[in-house]
Amino acid sequence: MASADVAIASRRGGAWESVGLRRLTLLSIYWVAIGWLWNALGAQVLPPVITRMVGQAHQGTALSALEGFGTLVAVVWQPVVGALSDRTRLRWGRRRPYIAGGALGSSLFLVVMAFVGVYFWLLIVYFLLQIASNTAQAPYQGLGPDAVPEKDFGKFGAFYGMGNLVGTLIGFLVTGIFTASGQYGAALFAMAAMLVVSMVLTVTLVPDRGRPDGSLGMSVGEITLGTFKISPRRHGDFLWLMGSRLLILMGVVGLETYAQFFFKDVFYPHSTNHANAATTYLLAIIVVLAIAVCYPAARLSDRWGRKPMVIVCAILGALGALGLVFSHYTLLPSVMTAPIASLLGIPRGLAQVLWFGVPIGVGIGCFLTVDWAFMIDLIPPAETGRFLGFSNIATAGSGIIARFIAGPVLDHFNAGGHILGELGGYPVVFGMFVVYFVAGIFLVLPVVEPRRRRTLSAGPAG
């Protein structure tokens, strides 16, 4: 107990006494760049680029292999760098050096990626991009809890979610403009520029005065293998939450990854640019709604609890994915689909698909906000970098598992007959994503919310 008290005191030594709009925005600015990079890259740039490199018959497997291989690196590397930053003692801070170096490296590899024309070299550059990005990301995640007082974790969770989603929205819109005309290199340059700008703002304007806990060892074994030794007895609630997070994000990542393929193969088989535009419409709807619900979701979780909100999020995601399973059939009245079809100049069936993005967007916005705050409630204050880096096993691991399974399944069933009125792979993989959302609900049920958070939520709102 004494060690925990020391850890909290060390963190408080670098924390602001209170946080307002300006400080929360500053703390979230690098999340804007991260959301832009990984969501737009995975949903709008890599799918058409890979199709051009390997052809339609192998696109699902090739995309799964690329992102799975790169994300496997992130799963291992991010917790290690996070643990190292927990122990770092430099005059410039314990988080800033990693954030600056990782952001500059990421920008460099994005520029190099723009000139790659062969799948093998794309694989290599993507691997290096993952190394660089995760060097920055784990220490950056630890910077927030170092600087924010405990009473404001719920609000910070909202800004974390909004920062990620605002970046996702801006990224989808900007990247959509470039990809609609096939300018994939320009899309990558824009991502690199945003990373550098947001990094400079973060390392110059956000305090990094947290002090390492003296009980943390600096041996190679502790920082590497020891990073992954999370005791189920001491941190069982955290591990259950990670299992739930893994499954729910598998549903989210799966929907995002294969949206462009779905629109291209089902609605626009002869026009990649139209499929890119449709992908942008769907993702923009999801992200706008997600942004809108972030702050209300955070405040509701302070009053009702984090766990009930996570369950609601997963139910909404499952409903949206279930709609996609049966998207060939007319499920919504024309009064809902006709105006959107007329406004955007798209088929009514596609307008119906866009409506299914509504519950998905609300669910994602709630989940990103509440689940992150839930993690902060559960982790030891002295090791925020390590535990939030460890959480990337669920965050990035969701991409590995979802794509490794869904990619080959998609290609296999697409090569067969139609199922539920359309190419067989899509109802099958969308059905898998429904199962992931539902399974995530069951894994969060054993989690017990800590008294620390319950005490805070019982206090006055504000």
Check residue 423 and report its DSSP letter: E
Q: Is residue 243 part of a domain?
A: yes
Torsion on CA atoms 93, 97, 98, 100, rounded to nearest 10:
130
Does 304 fall in a domain? yes
Using DSSP's 3-state secondary structure scheme, residue 206 falls into coil
Count of domains observed in the chain: 1
Nearest of 372, 255, 263 to residue 318 by alpha carbon: 255
The answer on pLDDT for 390 being more than 70 is: yes
Most confident of 43-52, 106-115, 255-264: 106-115
Half-sphere exposure of 174 (CA within 13 A, CB side): 23
Q: What is the pLDDT of residue 457?
A: 42
Total number of residues shown for the chain: 462
Longest CA–CA separation in the chain, Å: 66
| Mean pLDDT of the region 272-283 | 82
**8 Å CB contact between 429 and 410:** yes
Residue 197 has pLDDT above 90, yes or no: yes
Contact 386, 86 (CB under 8 A): yes
Confidence of residue 212 (pLDDT cuts 50, 70, 90): low
Instruction: Give 418's strand partners.
Output: 423
Q: What is the mean pLDDT of residues 288-308?
A: 86
Q: What gap in Å lies between CA 140 and CA 157, rounded to an integer?
A: 14
Specify the DSSP class assigned to residue 418: E
Q: Is the pLDDT of residue 143 over 50?
A: yes
Domain of 188, in residue numbers: 2-209+222-457
> Is the confidence at residue 110, as pLDDT, over 90?
yes
Most confident of the following: 2-6, 25-29, 91-95, 184-188:
184-188
The structure tokens listed for 242 are: 């990670």
Q: Does 215 fall in a domain?
A: no
Distance CA 57, CA 44 (A): 19
In whole angstroms, what is the distance from residue 44 CA to residue 174 CA? 11
CATH number of the CATH domain containing 250 = 1.20.1250.20
pTM, two decimal places: 0.76
**Cα–Cα distance between 394 and 436 in angstroms, integer?**
13
pLDDT at 21 over 60: yes
- Taking residues 268-281, what's their average pLDDT? 81
Domain assignment present for 169: yes
216: in domain:
no
Whether 290 shows a pLDDT value over 90: the answer reads no
C-alpha distances (whole Å) from 267 to each of 9, 260, 351 are: 57, 10, 11
Residue 310 lies in a domain: yes
Please provide the average confidence, as pLDDT, over all residues in the chain: 83
The closest of 129, 29, 59 to 275, measured between CA atoms, is 59
Residue 262 falls inside a structural domain: yes
Going by pLDDT thresholds of 50, 70 and 90, the confidence category of residue 376 is confident
In angstroms, the CA 286 to CA 292 distance is 10
For residue 462, tell me if it sits in a domain. no
Could you report the per-residue pLDDT of 315-339, keeping only the tens digit for each? 999 999 999 899 888 888 989 999 9
Pairing of strands 418-419, 422-423: antiparallel
H or E stretch covering 422? strand 422-423
CA dihedral 10, 16, 18, 23 (to 10 degrees): -140
C-alpha–C-alpha distance, residues 133 and 106, integer Å: 5
